[in-house]
Every structure is written in C-alpha cells, then in structure tokens.
Amino acid sequence: MQFEINKLTELGITQGEADRLTADVLDIISTSLCLGDSVAIPGFGRFSSEKENEYIGKDLTTGKTYLFPPHIGVKFTPSGMLKKGAAQ
Amino acid sequence: MNKLHTLDGVSQLLAARTGRDIDFCRQFTSALFGEISQQLGNSKHVSLENFGEFFIDSEGSVTFHPAEALSSHVNEPFSIFEPLELDSSITEAMLAEGTETPAESVEELPSQSVEEAPASQPQAAAAQSEAAAENAAPVVVVTAPEVVEQPAETPVYEVEQPKAETPEGNSEPTQVDTPAEEGVESQTQAPELDQTESSAVSQEETPVKTERKHDRVTLAERPQVVGPKITYDTEDDIFDDESASHGGWLKFFVGLILGLILGALGAYTAMLYL
C-alpha cells in the first residue's frame, strides 16, 4: 500500500499482515464489482459497477471518429461524512 | 447480481478468506477506510495499488479513478470489443441525424437511375406497403364475415321448420311430424351445402353441423309443442270414436237408402212383370 497504515497496526497485527488484509479487502470489493454487486462502507462511500452503452466519440488529438463499445465501469459515490471531511 | 454488501458482508467474506474472527475483520475494515478518509483529508490524494486513486478536486468533491487492473477486471465481459474507427466521410451532422443516414444512402441509389424520384419513391414504397397492408387486412376481415354469415343462415333454417310443421300438424301430427321434419332437414341441408360448397371451405361445414345439432335441440323443444299432441291423441281418439260413430250412422243411412232403393227397384220390377 502506498499510504501509511498507522491505526491498522494498533489492532495487534504486523505491517505485512495489514498489507495482506488490505489487499484481501480490496480484492473482495473488486470481485463484488465484477459480479455486479455493490459495496457500501459506512462513513466512506459506495462502490458500484454500472454499464455504459456504446457511443460515438471523436479523438481530439487525431480528429478521428470512433464507435466505442459498451463497457462496465466502476462508480464511487462518497458518503456525506466523506464529503464533509473533504470540504473542510 | 445487484446485491449490496455492507460492512458486515465484507467482514464475513474477509473472515471466510483469512480465517480470522468476524469482529476483528469488521474492525480492520472500518479502520482501513477510516485511515483512507483521514489521509485523503490530509493529502487530498490516496493511491491504492491495483485498485485506484481517490482525489479531492479544487471544488472539494471526492472522485475515484479505478486502476487499469480493476477496470479491466470489471469490464471483462466486454473486453472482446474494441473501439471501431468510423469512416472519415461521416460528418458530425450525419452522426447527429443518426438513423436518417441509411435512408439518405438508400435514396442516393435510385437517384442515379431515376431522375428526381428519390423523394417520391419512398412515399410510393410506403404507399405500396400500406396498400399491401390494407390488402392483407381485408383478407382477414373477409374471412371473419364468412364465419359470421353462417349463423345468419340458421335463423332462416329455423324459420323454415315451423312452416313445415304447421301444415303437417293440421293433418296428422304424430305420425307425419318426424319424417316430414327429416325431409325438411334434408331439403334445407342440401341448399346450404350447395352454398357452402361454392366457397369450398371445409371449415364451414362443421359449424353447419353444429347448427343442425342446435336445430335438433330446437326440435327437441317441440315435445313442448308436441305435449298438446298428447291431448290431440286423446282428442283424436275422441275424434276417431266420433268419426266411427259418424261412419256408423252414415253406413246405416247409406245402407238404409240403398235398401230402400233396392226395395223400390224390386217393387218396380215386380210391378212390371206382374
């Protein structure tokens, strides 16, 4: 993980165990998103996957027009608490 | 599909995966995202490897950019599709028109062979299609009235039967009714079959048969009318007795008259020879 895990080690686990558990949590979330499920974390936000239909777009650099296929994207909706913390 | 996993659900999945206590997994998960939100508030940027990055933009809103690994993993069902480069001749106006572009391409083809016809040809084609639809629709409508006309024949058939019944009922009701009615049926059935055979539709024959059954039902109702026939029978018996008595009197008078005539003739001849 690229951010410092301070409080996680306070739970009585080592840094390596905290990294493995963090990877497991994120893997659980990504697996749920692949299955079309949503994951809501209280006080943080909600991860969900949504399908976008095909659309015609233009590459601004080359000026070419492309037909982009439908795809499933990841959507994150921050919670009110996170928004409030970010605004401060 | 479309399930919502909460903190408890994630904790249970984490406990099942790692073999740790659920309460510990719940505490760890909540502490993890609490740490992320705290560091996001401090540095306004948190990057999670193979997952994504959280940003706080200048407006203070939190955004999330998934990592390429997560995006490709989630988009795996549509990973076979790739962006398709369109023809350079396609302009933005044609894209804005959308479905009208194929119509224009169709119109261009006849314009090469026919002068100024593309505007009228689609209308003519549409008119032909509408005319074909109209021609097809009446066929369905025509068949329906044919079925409707069949029941119209039945009232005529039912009306004819009472006509055959009334004169016969005057003469001798009990003996003559049933054969006369059968004869009426055979007479009325034959023209109906001829009329239906002109259309040569076998399906029309079956309703006629059912109608006959229906008529037979109406005939079965006649015993209510025949009920008086029982009285007629008794009256007939009475009439028979009266007719027998009248016949007896007639025979008596005829015999008497004949006897008188013969006696007069015998007396006349006797007077001539004597």
Give me Rg for the CA atoms of chain B. Answer: 51
Of B18-27, B115-124, B142-151, B207-216, where does the model show the most confidence?
Answer: B18-27
CA distance B52 to B46: 9
| One-letter amino acid for residue B53 of the chain | E
Higher pLDDT residue, B226 or B6? Answer: B6
Residue B15 has pLDDT above 90, yes or no: yes
Q: Which residue of B has its CA nearest to A63?
A: B88
A7: DSSP letter: S
**Cβ contact (<8 Å) for B35 and A3?**
yes
- Give residues with Cβ within 8 angstroms of A1, minimum separation 6: A19, A22, B48, B49
Q: Cβ separation of A86 and B62 shorter than 8 Å?
A: yes
The C-alpha atoms of residue B137 and residue B139 are separated, in whole angstroms, by 5
CB nearest A72 (choices: B50, B75, B82): B75
Strand ranges across the sheet with A38-41: A71-78, A45-52, A38-41, B4-5
Do B82 and A69 form a contact (C-beta atoms < 8 A)? Answer: yes
The mean per-residue pLDDT over the stretch B79-85 comes to 87
| Rounded mean pLDDT, B62-90 | 88
Percent of residues, chain A, with pLDDT higher than 90:
45
pLDDT band at A73 (very low <50, low <70, confident <90, very high): very high
Q: What's the sign of the alpha-carbon dihedral A34, A36, A39, A40?
A: positive
Q: What local confidence, expressed as pLDDT, does residue A45 receive?
A: 94
Tell me, what's the pLDDT at B99? Answer: 52
| pLDDT the model gives residue B176 | 40
B3 to chain A: which residues are within 8 Å by CB?
Answer: 32, 35, 37-38
Percent of chain B exceeding pLDDT 70 equals 43
Which residues from chain A sit within 8 angstroms of residue B93, using beta carbons? none
**Which positions 24-43 of A are in contact with B (Cβ < 8 Å)?**
24-26, 28-30, 32-43
Q: What is the pLDDT of residue B117?
A: 39
Closest among B83, B242, B26, B74 to A73, alpha carbons compared: B74
Question: Which of A20, A44, A72 lies at the smallest CB-CB distance from B33?
Answer: A44
**ipTM of the prediction:** 0.86
* pLDDT tens per residue, range B202-225: 444 444 444 444 445 444 445 554
**CA–CA gap between residue A26 and residue B199 (Å, rounded):** 77
pTM: 0.48
Record the tokens describing residue B142, joined without a space: 């025509």
The yes-or-no verdict on residue A63 having pLDDT over 80 is: yes
Is the backbone of residue B82 left (phi > 0), alpha (psi -120 to 50) or beta? beta
The Cα of A60 is separated from the nearest Cα of chain B by a number of Å equal to 13
Residue B6: list chain A partners with CB under 8 A: 40, 42
Cα B189 from Cα B211, distance rounded (Å): 11
Strands in chain B per DSSP E: 4-5, 45-48, 52-56, 62-66, 84-85
The pair of structure tokens assigned to B20 is: 């740790």
